[in-house]
Amino acid sequence: MMRKPTLRRPDPSMPARRLVAWAACACLLAGPARAEEPAADGAFVVHGQLTYVEQEVGSFHAPYAGPNSLTPDRGRETADATLYLGARLWEGGEGWLTPEVDQGFGLDDTLGLAGFPSGEAYKVGRARPYLRLPRAFLRETVALGGASEPAAGGLTSFAGPQPANRVVVTIGKFGVGDVFDASRYAHDPRGDFLNWAAIDAGTFDYAADAWGFTVGAAVEWYQGPWTARGGVFELSDVPNSPHLEPGGHEFQWIAELEHRHELGGREGRLLVTGYQSRGRMARLEDAIAAAGGGTPDPAAVRRFRTRAGVHLTLDQALGEELGLFARLGGAGGNVETYEFTDIDRTASLGLSLKGARWRRAGDTIGLAAIANQISAERRRYLDAGGLGILIGDGRLPHAGAERIVEGYYSAAVRSGIAVTFDYQFVTNPAYNRDRGPLSVFALRLHAEF
């Protein structure tokens, strides 16, 4: 499996006890944030965000390691700053550009865990800041009649009234997660959970370059309590690549159906999301057979094949301040994963609680449990020394489900500024019962306007 290009790796940084101290001080000093009523935006908007994440893994049992193994007692940091530039181009039409500056590394260059512990870490790490354009897209909204509803707006959407029944078409460069699999409680590594398998279904092998963005088109149809979504997107030129395949030769289609409901007077919604990727990928058994007892090389046996998956997402309000999310997913385990991470089956469950009860309405506590598994074919491939997108300890004689518990406390310093302390406990990292368990500590600083 191709490794992502990286530059010089920085030295290990802040120990976990300093992360704890920083987060505790920030929580004590933070004042309550004041809620502000959203106002309708004009013809142009400029938003911005800045996020810094310092993350450290503690010591853990590691009797052996491979090329993609997580290293004990290591720390890394990531930082990004983004401008969101939006313009109303015509009635119902919008254009968006989001130039961004990135810097930093994920733990072990974003390797070592299938449920990687930081959604702010890309698969390309650099020691110095660099400029990118992750999004450049057009959005058209067509009213289907009926009443309007207020829209609070966001970093890539305008505030103001919008038709309740509508068709929305998005085309250009953007993230699949901007449209699909959007949980209210677990979908934003800059504001809620950090783990990859919490912010998205771990089996959702969505089209993306190494930074998580692609080129394509999506259509959404909102009608009453239902929304149907569909999209077609470019895959990378080879699995786990920073470069997209132009011309639509390798592609992915996605379909999603959402139903909004009320249970006991509390709002909720259920999403069913399916995808199919068509690209040059290897059957894992072919890679093992071609190796003849050596280390499997999937590049040698790649042919045009498909990989499909489906998952369910549930959001349910349990009270004024308490919400629940759950995801359950599966994907084809006979071929190599293409874009996201090495997970064939996943289940996650979590809670999100706002801080109004202790007079900090802008604060949030989150707790999630995740279980990831792989197919028998993928286990044999990894045991033979094969490498996945994120994992590969050189062997896997004693496989088990990768289990993760994540908890965070996000403290609102003032409107638009938050400090978060995050802790993750992982058993069987990279499905390996010989290694771990381990703890990952993180401090996140986030500001937006």
pLDDT for position 11:
42
- Pair 24, 411: CB distance under 8 Å: no
In the predicted structure, residue 23 carries a pLDDT above the cut 50: no
H helix count then E strand count, the chain: 4, 20
In terms of average pLDDT, the best of 143-147, 157-161, 418-422 is 418-422
Q: Give pTM, 2 decimals.
A: 0.90
Tens of pLDDT, residue by residue over 94-147, are 999 999 999 999 999 999 999 999 999 998 889 999 999 999 999 999 999 888
Q: Which fold has domain 16-448?
A: Porin (2.40.160)
pLDDT for position 38:
52
pLDDT-based confidence at 263, cuts 50/70/90? very high
* pLDDT above 90 as % of the chain: 86
Where exactly are the structural domains of the chain?
Answer: 16-448
pLDDT for position 12:
40
* Tokens linked to 323: 């919400």
The helix or strand, by DSSP H or E, that contains position 138, with its residue range, turns out to be strand 136-143
pLDDT for position 40:
73
In the predicted structure, residue 427 carries a pLDDT above the cut 80: yes
In the predicted structure, residue 1 carries a pLDDT above the cut 90: no
102: left (phi over 0), alpha (psi -120 to 50) or beta: beta
pLDDT-based confidence at 4, cuts 50/70/90? very low
Average confidence score pLDDT of the chain: 91
pLDDT for position 420:
98
pLDDT-based confidence at 246, cuts 50/70/90? confident
Tens of pLDDT, residue by residue over 216-244, are 999 999 999 999 999 999 999 999 899 99
Mean pLDDT of 411-415: 93
Nearest 5°: CA angle at 12, between 6 and 18?
Answer: 135
- Pair 432, 105: CB distance under 8 Å: no
Return the residue matching tokens 């309000």.
317
pLDDT for position 41:
74
